[in-house]
Structure 1
Amino acid sequence: MTRQFFVGGNFKMNPATREAKRALVEVLNQAPLDPNTEVVIAPPSLYLIPILDLLRKDVKVAAQNCHSKTSGAFTGEVSPAQLVDAGIPYVILGHSERRTLFGETSAIVAEKTRAALDAGLRVILCAGETLAEREAGRTQQVVEEQLQAVVGRLSPEDWSRIVIAYEPVWAIGTGKVATAGQAQEVHAATRKYLTSAVSPAVAESTRVIYGGSVTASNCKELSIQPDVDGFLVGGASLETRIRGHRECKGRIDG
């Protein structure tokens, strides 16, 4: 099975101004993107609707987070139903910054994933280990534990709307990056886990993308690994050029 290559840009709490937002959208709208690559950007929630209105239609928009409830007294939160009503197709869930800075457990991530799918969203589901966990040889154990909570809440059919993002915490925003071999090893093991935990068909069809200091210099080698189906790019996605590139099967290039 050929899985469509995926490139996501997580802007985090950037850009800082409306002018910077407009400039970024203008670059995207003029960029020569690979038509065979799915490109998704995740701006701050304040800019979701304005960017959706201005952005070319072949680039999708994702929220960076959502609540698990449809509505209610949850000040500062955005519900999955509100995102769907606004025309937002994707949401990022389980990012390491949500887990470490905001205390989201795997059970909370699983609850949000179930709610997002029920509302009609697609989910970019993040998992990854800290440096201490990698050095202790627990990388795959941690990734599988984080995914297991979600596996228990999903049916096999639900996985058609899930993209797994393997993001080693030690490589996010540090300039460090897993080697192509390290990334391939974790992606292949994750696909093997899905084979036993869900089904061989789900394991084969689910895209597993890599996030962690992806740049123009390392994306080519990463992209040719058989189980690396794309990237979730953080800081580099805010740089000056966003373009499709045949060597990387389409990318957000810093």
Structure 2
Amino acid sequence: MTLLVHDATLTYPDGEGRLTALDAVALEVPAGTLTAVVGPSGSGKSSLLAVAATLVTPDSGRVVVAGRDTSRLTPAEKAALRREEIGIVFQQPNLLPSLTAAEQLLAMAHLSGRPPRALRRRALELLDAVGLADKAGRRPHQLSGGQRQRVNIARALMNEPSVLLVDEPTSALDHERGAAVLDLLAALTRERSTATVLVTHDRTHLERADRTAVMADGRLTEPLPAA
């Protein structure tokens, strides 16, 4: 499946006028590819992720996720779509301190309707995929920053999303750990055929992307193949 953002415009009240966060933004991300979005703070990158995640409805334009035009969905239908088709990797892992790594994933997926045994098996498989098979029983304070971010990624993949939205996942990591997290994201994108959007400020990560786009003043350049 492909993620499609078509001519999305988003504005916010700003005094007596309105501030344009997104200006007719168009983005298409095919399954199994990673598109990196770079740009300065305030350029609209976070607004793009929020619109793509259906957390914010644009003033105009549309977002298509897993073949569904989200502009036609009710709030309840959008919530179900997010649960089933969209994985979000936040800048900070925000793991629950009382839960183990495996329980973080199970908490994300408890509404999916699958048998608990199947859910636990999938959680352990995902932790293995991110290199944490031996850390399933550890709580966040027993994990390094890079390991917590890996749990964050595994959690986002728990419901087998077709779209993965990643917001500055390496901002709190040193270069070596950040590179390892980006390598993992690129590999999982291809292995699991997700349409992945990575927002990053670090241009050294762009070599892992299939395409790169630059956000400036709410506008997005046509994505180009990564260098």
Answer whether TM exceeds 0.5 for this pair. no
Q: Which structure's residues are more often helix, by fraction?
A: 1
TM-score of the pair, normalised by structure 2: 0.42
TM-score for both structures, normalised by structure 1: 0.39
In terms of fraction of residues, the more strand-rich structure is 2
Higher RCO structure, 1 or 2 (CA under 8 Å, sep 6+): 2
